[in-house]
């Protein structure tokens, strides 16, 4: 089979399985790994993670993480229900944990399993800062970004394998592997990841506003993130994330829109 035909076949197969819909954007997304398979795996990995790390319970910070997480989850359900996506969260099993770790990070696994590291709390600075982070991380799960990343990685690997099978000349195959690896990473996978981050920033700022948190504080959070990084960041085109300046500009632009959206749910004052 010629290489062109091989790539076309892989593309057609991917499109056939790209049947998930992002409820926030209405866009079709790749879903080579169904949530029925992804969620149980994520839940098991989350449980194992908790046994291997120091989970903080019973403190004001731990209670705040749970409180903010619950409010963001309620906001997500209200938004989804209002936009014709009733039952979208039926398989989610929300869980919020604070972990003793100096790493400046937080994450949400597919299906609603959330971890905040203590290292990010000083940068969050307050409950509204935590809400900005929480909204962003929850948005990744709601938009099925984990599912999409896995699907894209499978497709990237599939094309690489097909290329190696289809190209018989060793020199041509070596050139393909070199240029495909760099090209697919810089030209496809990294922009794909940055797009997810931007999408989660926008969804997240809407969620925090609907939950009653001031969306204008999201940009302030990222100003603190920028200060904490001391300018140590790769060029945006080589990064999985947009630059701090890009995120600050976007969040500043979206904050008034988020307040308008929150007003639709009767939220006119913000924490």
Pick the catalytic residue from 95, 137, 199, 217.
137
What is the C-alpha radius of gyration for the chain, rounded to an integer number of angstroms? 20
SS (H, E, C) the chain: CCHHHHHHHHHHHHHHHCCEECCCCCCEECCCCCHHHHHHHHHHHHHHHHHHCCEECCCHHHHHHHHHHHHHHHHHHHHHHHCCCCCCCCCCCCEEEEECCCCCCEEEECCCEEEEEHHHHHHHCCHHHHHHHHHHHHHHHHCCHHHHHHHHHHHHHHHHHHHHHHCCCHHHHHHHHHHHHHHHHHHHHHHHHHHHHHHHHHHHHHHHHHCCCCCCHHHHHHHHHHHHHCCCCCCHHHCCCCCHHHHHHHHHHHHHHHHHHHHCCCCCCCC
Q: Are 180 and 158 in contact (CB under 8 A)?
A: no
The answer to whether 137 is a known catalytic residue is yes
Report, as residue numbers or ranges, the catalytic residues.
137
């Amino acid at each position: 089979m010629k290489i062109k035909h091989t790539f076309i076949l892989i593309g057609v197969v991917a499109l056939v399985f790209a049947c998930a819909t992002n409820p926030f954007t209405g866009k079709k997304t790749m879903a080579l790994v169904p949530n029925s398979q992804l969620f149980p795996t994520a839940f098991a990995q989350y449980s194992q993670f908790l046994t291997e790390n120091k989970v903080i319970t019973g403190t004001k910070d731990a209670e705040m993480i749970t409180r903010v997480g619950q409010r963001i989850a309620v906001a997500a359900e209200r938004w989804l229900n209002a936009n014709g996506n009733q039952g979208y969260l039926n398989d989610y099993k929300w869980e919020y944990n604070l972990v003793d770790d100096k790493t400046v990070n937080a994450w949400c696994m597919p299906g609603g399993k959330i971890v905040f590291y203590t290292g990010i709390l000083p940068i969050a600075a307050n409950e509204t800062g935590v809400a900005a982070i929480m909204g962003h991380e929850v948005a990744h799960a709601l938009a099925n970004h984990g599912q999409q990343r896995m699907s894209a990685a499978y497709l990237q690997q599939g094309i690489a394998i097909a290329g190696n099978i289809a190209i018989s000349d060793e020199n041509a195959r070596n050139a393909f592997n070199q240029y495909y690896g760099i090209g697919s990473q810089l030209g496809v996978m990294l922009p794909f990841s940055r797009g997810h981050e931007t999408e989660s920033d926008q969804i997240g700022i809407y969620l925090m506003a609907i939950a009653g948190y001031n969306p204008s504080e999201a940009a302030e959070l990222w100003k603190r993130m920028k200060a904490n990084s001391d300018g140590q960041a790769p060029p945006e085109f080589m990064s999985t994330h947009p630059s701090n300046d890009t995120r600050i500009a976007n969040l500043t632009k979206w904050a008034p829109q988020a307040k308008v959206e929150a007003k639709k749910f009767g939220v006119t004052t913000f924490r």
